[in-house]
Amino acid sequence: MLFGRRKRTITRLLLVEDEPLVAFDSEHFLSEAGFEIVKTVDRVADAVAAIADGRSIDLVLVDLTLADGSGIDVARAAFARAIPVLFVTGQWPGGAESFAAGCLSKPYQPRDLIGAIEAIEMTKDGKTPKRLPSGLKLFA
């Protein structure tokens, strides 16, 4: 493909978000952008179970503050299975740099979330992103 888009290596996403409207909107625009939402959950326990059950997940998108605990627990579970994590949250997760790929600050535009996923994909492939979306901090 000389001028076409390169093939994505991150396509299957686990969405962990306890705000229903944010979860619905994210599912919609990520699906429209060609990503597959493996599952959307709103609790730490459900996210950890989805990670543990062996599903093929390329990236976990997780809010920091969830109804039954911290998104950091989800990130640790994903890290243990070598699944990259992007925090999508209004507050920076201090100390999470060692087991997450990055953090995208809320509120964000859909293009910024997609750009954040692409930036993580580039770093995972050993490349340096030319430009980072607004509100994104990469940890890797």
Domain boundaries, the chain: 12-124+132-138
Q: CA-CA distance, 10 to 21, in Å (whole number)? A: 24
CATH number at 12-124+132-138? 3.40.50.2300
Q: CA-CA distance, 57 to 113, in Å (whole number)? A: 17
Q: Using an 8 Å Cβ cutoff, are 62 and 47 in contact?
A: yes
Which tokens in the block code for residue 112?
């910024």
User: For residue range 54-73, what is the model confidence (pLDDT) as tens digits?
Assistant: 889 999 999 999 989 999 99
User: For residue range 27-46, what is the model confidence (pLDDT) as tens digits?
Assistant: 999 999 999 999 999 999 99
Which residue spans within the chain are E strands per DSSP? Answer: 12-16, 36-41, 59-62, 65-66, 69-70, 85-89, 102-105, 136-138
User: For residue range 111-121, what is the model confidence (pLDDT) as tens digits?
Assistant: 999 999 999 99
Q: Specify the pTM.
A: 0.92
